[in-house]
Structure 1
């Protein structure tokens, strides 16, 4: 490793630690969310330096993009709830309207001037976090240093061997693909991938079980910048997602990376046009969300009778079967991520 790369790695490590510390110590929630997104992007660069581009793609799309968007919308919803006037029984009655702080439209008009400023300050203050005591910070620092020391000691004492790479390389001719990671995930240890798809499905069902989703409180910025950016980025995201799905058989990529990119594209459209998107057909949405897990399970059961064993594929049909499974998984992951971002089931589910 040359001096330039070593310097870059040291600066990247210092940036990761510094941003993580500032994110945890920040008392302003919006600043903490921005720092969290920054941390996710730096972590994606770190995965690239560790020669794991597939994990870097997932981290950039899910860890920084989708999770960051979820946190920002949650923060917007909290502000909307905090600034909502209290009309429930048991609360103190609201003070009489100030004629100076209202428009001439009448008492039902939205508050302006000092009243609006006080409401905004109240909502922002409620969303602030109290600073952690000094004792808690020292305990956190001690635990962090202890875990880091334990991790470094473990890495320094373990034996570095080839692992299962020779075994995987010897069996690549029967896997149906040319990339070792895809062969392990979808052929040699397909149980893991099936359980991961089942967990994604359960997460989507859990969100739907909480009730119907409300309209996003996001307010698109006026002007041509946001619509123009969506028009430019959406085709690029779709092409990138399809390419990652296709490239997964011989290069870093696959269903999870492709689904994350396509899900991020759907969330971008939801953020840009929160009140203009129609509710999808519930039947088609259910089919799309469950397609990955059901296709995987159906083909795995077919392999029990027509192939070598459960969740194994005949050698001559391994590639097309894996491609079908990857396509269904991509669709399910993308739709589930968008559904988790919107939150709750569609109102059309009740009709």
Structure 2
């Protein structure tokens, strides 16, 4: 009897505390701390994690020409790395025009037998503004070279000259043209960051326009919610050394793209769209990724819609660091997982 009274007393004491927490929803105050580079990842990824914050993470040009100059400088730096990457991975890149849209045909020296009649469409990242021309093909080169797929990479129009819906229109123009000449059941779409956003938006648009859907998609760390909603915008702020924080350069570039449109429009923030009928989807992110929540929320929404969806989360990685170093074992692991997923759901 005495024990029963003690238990009842403890419950009565706890109830007001629980009620208070549920009513106030008080934010949690976290003390300042130093976060070490984890020893649970490869030396190559440790170097990525230890790098300083992206130099331009909060450098916000105040003119359209200022943005163009920043984008040009970044593109030139990236393009310098591409010849060595092409040589290492034995990949050929050829510019082309598809349905009036600039694109690149990316072909590995050896196409895997199971991929002989398959085609992947790639939409690059860069917060909707960066990565013009060859600079936007790096992720596609990784996929072609590591996994032996033929890839079409869309060099879509971008702000400040071409805001929404130019990028999505270009991607869809390429999709319409390629599905007219290839079996969509043998096709997939992939891309990371803004490319992950566009991958999801392309499926929403294809559903809306009653166009063929891809057999599978691979949105990497997608910018799926441009409103800033999501827990990891707070928990990973200043920890992600690529995007760094919400409201900084990447979101200012995204604002050039959205150009005053409703940010909850599913074609801009796909997490608010209807995912019923989506193709099988594999999503990739990292524990330090500012867009970890964006990725997790898409995964849960897909699952709740009855879609087959896989989520791979890499230890310690910030935004899209799974394709920052070709020599990192985690890079091969990430692309192997995506390729195995495509191999499972793309018809041969």
TM-score band by shorter chain is under 0.3
Return the structure number with greater helix share. 1
Which structure shows the higher strand fraction? 2
* TM-score relative to the length of structure 1: 0.23
State which structure, 1 or 2, has the greater radius of gyration over its C-alpha atoms: 1
